Amino acid sequence: LRSTVKGILSQKDVSKMKNGDILVTRMTTTELMPSVRLAAGIITDEGGITCHASIISRELHVPCVVGTKIAIQVLKDGDVVCLDGTGLIKIISSVANKES
């Protein structure tokens, strides 16, 4: 899966998500479900095999990488990443590089 990153830290950020974006957050919660439903993929800093993001992504049939510890700090809104669901997150293009 190759798509654009949107960092969602709280419910107030939910409106940033567009259909097909990759949701990047500390961890998913029920209040973030509107964003989760739009996501083509999910990346979280926290969690494991039985966390909310893992279970929801399986139910929604979207790739998910959990427990990155630093994704919300490294990945920025507008970055394009490749997410394959095996734990590999490859940055295709970075907003930081475009601003330079």
52 in catalytic set: yes
Contact call for residues 57 and 63 (beta carbons, < 8 A): yes
The H-or-E segment that residue 3 falls in is strand 2-7
* Whole-angstrom distance, CA of residue 21 vs CA of residue 41: 7
Selecting among 21, 47, 52, 56, the annotated active-site residue is: 52
Type of residue at 29: T
Contact call for residues 5 and 76 (beta carbons, < 8 A): yes
Residues forming beta bridges with residue 93, ordered by sequence position: 80
> Three-class SS of residue 95?
helix
Residues tagged active-site:
52
